[in-house]
């Protein structure tokens, strides 16, 4: 076995606090299993789009107690280097995935051992509570143990700065630098003077704020089916629905209780095909006309609408347009604006322009959307991956408040015999058809992240001249920046006046993703324009599937 690898493994074992993980790694050393040790050591987890995220396993390439301990030491060193006093407190929360409680305990012990103040969530709760509490407590930072919508074997570590938004460069680089050099940690128990639990009163303030904003006066007869997809949103969201005035909300029983195994799902993500199958069956039995879904940590929002005798699952962009059509009426201040990302639909800009509201386009990720307004107020922000910020009280995506906002719009439309689909018809009649689609190809194995970056690089070196029946008019290396945006990984291909394609590696999974938007320039009925746009998109996707083969 490579001697440097053996030394690295031995050094890791010496600092690993978990007996089982130490035995696993020592067994691999004793068996001289270089391939498996390389899988666990050659590509360590690093702070990226949303902190750390990866499979739960021993070694630096996995989520485990040692990784979490080192990450938390990195957070402490980052706060010290940037002059943020840890006596302001760090909010710590967790979801209900396997390992989340253990990792949560590790974070708390390391923070307390360093003399930091800790505000710990009292149970496994939705992610949006952490950024809300960071902001309202004036805390130094926030940590959420979650892998969001990733597969069951994954877990993660999401880090929020003192403004309640996810960290951005160079903060992630500072954390990573200190975490990689971390030595033995000093630990302390919850009996330390700096520990406290987030109070029920503060969590109730979150509920009260959003109920006051989105409650349906007089109650609603709208039939809703709700699923938390085995996540932590269930009890919180159901109580919000009831208190907001919805009398007919049916939970998906088989998916209601938190379960980190996600037994009814191939992938616990509302975007995945088939993820809403149980919700659709439940809704048909209950007679519901709207399905609301949260991902497992409840920061994302999925939805489906009954369309005569079938169900239409809404795309992330469509939910964004719907929310904008309602929320922009409430944005009036000169310092308020809306924002979306480079890979989301361009329709938000058109809706905002018509409403006289400023709109910003950011790099991919809510850490950029949350800060788009600068010293102003973000009245609404969204990304096509089912992330929505409907209120500035939470500087991150929030599937709970988003669900209340979308349900209120559905209720208001129902009073005149309309649905969310009717509102989409109105929007595309006014602003033009915007056909969007996404292609995601997964790369499995230890070299997955390397492979998807190779695919993106190959596209830059040999870009296509056309996609489907549309000519490629422009190829932009996003790592060099574009328009007024900073550098990011990916390629943008313009399709002339017909739209654009963005290809980039996922920031949270070993996937390469392509985001397509086509805006057809043809006359005719709305259904005809949509059909034509669908044909154009299909041709683009067919070519992309070949170009991006792994």
Helix, strand, or coil (residue 280)? helix
The conformational region for residue 197 under phi > 0 = left, psi -120 to 50 = alpha, else beta, is beta
Q: How far apart are CA 169 and CA 525, in angstroms?
A: 47
Helix axes of 200-214 and 129-137: crossing angle, nearest 10 degrees:
110
The vertex-162 CA angle with 157 and 168, nearest 5°, equals 60
DSSP 93: E
Q: How far apart are CA 311 and CA 300, in angstroms?
A: 20
DSSP 376: S
Burial of 453 (0-12, 13-18, 19+ CB in 10 A): middle
Q: Which residue shows structure tokens 């630096």?
A: 60
Q: How far apart are CA 51 and CA 363, in angstroms?
A: 16
Q: How far apart are CA 269 and CA 250, in angstroms?
A: 20
Long-range contacts of 67-71 (CB under 8 A, 24+ apart): 67/157, 68/103, 68/106, 68/107, 68/145, 68/157, 69/17, 69/106, 69/110, 69/182, 69/185, 70/179, 70/180, 70/182, 71/47, 71/157, 71/175, 71/179
Q: How far apart are CA 356 and CA 236, in angstroms?
A: 35
Confirm if 456 and 490 have CB atoms less than 8 A apart: yes
Catalytic residue check, 148: yes
> What 3 state SS string does 281-325 have?
HHHHHHCCCEEEEECCCCCEEEEEEEECCEEEECCHHHHHHHHHH
> What 3 state SS string does 197-221 have?
ECCHHHHHHHHHHHHHHHCCCCCEE
Q: How far apart are CA 154 and CA 62, in angstroms?
A: 9
Q: Compute the CA torsion angle 75, 76, 80, 86 (nearest 10 deg).
A: 110
Confirm if 119 and 92 have CB atoms less than 8 A apart: yes
* CB burial string 294-316: b at 16+ within 10 A, e below: bbbbbbbbbbbbbeeeebbbbbb
Which is catalytic among the residues 148, 344, 488, 506? 148
Confirm if 180 and 102 have CB atoms less than 8 A apart: no
Q: How far apart are CA 189 and CA 78, in angstroms?
A: 23
Confirm if 516 and 315 have CB atoms less than 8 A apart: no
Q: Is the peptide bond before 170 cis (omega within 30 degrees of 0)?
A: yes
**Residues taking part in catalysis:** 148
């Amino acid at each position: 076995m490579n001697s440097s690898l053996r030394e690295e493994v031995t050094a890791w074992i010496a600092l690993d606090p978990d007996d089982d993980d130490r035995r696993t790694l020592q067994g691999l050393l004793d068996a001289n299993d270089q391939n498996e040790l390389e899988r666990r050591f050659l590509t360590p987890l690093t702070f990226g789009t949303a902190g750390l995220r990866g499979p739960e396993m021993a070694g630096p390439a996995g989520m485990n107690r040692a990784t979490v301990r080192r990450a938390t030491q990195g957070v402490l060193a980052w706060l010290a280097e940037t002059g943020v006093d840890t006596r302001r407190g760090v909010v710590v929360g967790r979801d209900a995935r396997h390992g989340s409680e253990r990792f949560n305990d590790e974070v708390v012990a390391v923070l307390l051992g360093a003399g930091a103040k800790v505000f710990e969530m009292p149970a496994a709760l939705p992610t949006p509570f952490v950024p809300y509490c960071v902001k309202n407590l004036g805390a130094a930072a926030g940590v959420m143990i979650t892998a969001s919508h990733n597969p069951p074997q994954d877990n993660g570590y999401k880090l929020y700065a003192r403004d309640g938004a996810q960290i951005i460069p160079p903060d992630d680089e500072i954390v990573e630098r200190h975490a990689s050099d971390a030595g033995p940690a000093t630990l302390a128990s919850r009996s330390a003077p700096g520990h406290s639990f987030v109070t029920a009163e503060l969590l109730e303030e979150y509920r009260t704020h959003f109920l006051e904003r989105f409650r349906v006066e007089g109650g609603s007869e709208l039939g809703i089916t709700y699923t938390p997809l085995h996540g932590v949103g269930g009890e919180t969201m159901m109580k919000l629905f009831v208190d907001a005035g919805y009398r007919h909300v049916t939970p998906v029983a088989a998916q209601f209780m938190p379960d980190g195994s996600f037994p009814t799902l191939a992938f616990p993500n509302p975007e995945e095909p088939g993820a809403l199958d149980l919700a659709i069956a439940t809704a048909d039995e209950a007679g519901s006309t709207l399905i609301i879904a949260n991902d497992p940590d409840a920061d994302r929002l999925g939805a489906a609408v009954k369309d005569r005798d079938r169900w239409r699952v809404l795309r992330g962009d469509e939910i964004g347009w719907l929310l904008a059509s309602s929320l922009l009426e409430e944005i009036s201040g000169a310092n308020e604006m809306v924002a979306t990302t480079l890979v989301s639909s361009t329709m938000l800009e058109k809706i905002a322009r018509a409403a006289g509201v400023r709109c910003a386009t950011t790099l991919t990720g809510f850490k950029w959307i949350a800060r788009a307004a600068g010293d102003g107020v973000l009245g609404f922000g969204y990304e096509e991956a089912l992330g929505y910020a409907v209120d500035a009280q939470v500087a991150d995506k929030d599937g709970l408040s988003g669900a209340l906002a979308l349900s209120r719009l559905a209720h208001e439309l129902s009073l005149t015999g309309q649905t969310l689909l009717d509102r989409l018809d109105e929007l595309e009649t006014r602003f033009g058809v915007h056909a969007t689609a996404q292609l995601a190809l997964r790369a499995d194995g230890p070299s997955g992240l390397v492979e998807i970056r190779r695919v993106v690089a190959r596209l830059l070196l040999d870009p296509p001249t056309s996609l489907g029946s549309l000519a490629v008019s422009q190829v932009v290396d996003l790592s060099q920046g574009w328009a007024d945006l900073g550098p990011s990984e990916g390629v943008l291909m313009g399709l002339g006046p017909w739209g654009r394609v963005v290809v980039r590696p996922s920031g949270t999974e070993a996937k390469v993703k392509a985001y397509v938007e086509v805006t057809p320039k043809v006359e005719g009925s709305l259904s005809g324009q949509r059909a034509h746009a669908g044909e154009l998109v299909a041709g683009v996707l067919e070519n992309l599937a070949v170009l991006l083969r792994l």
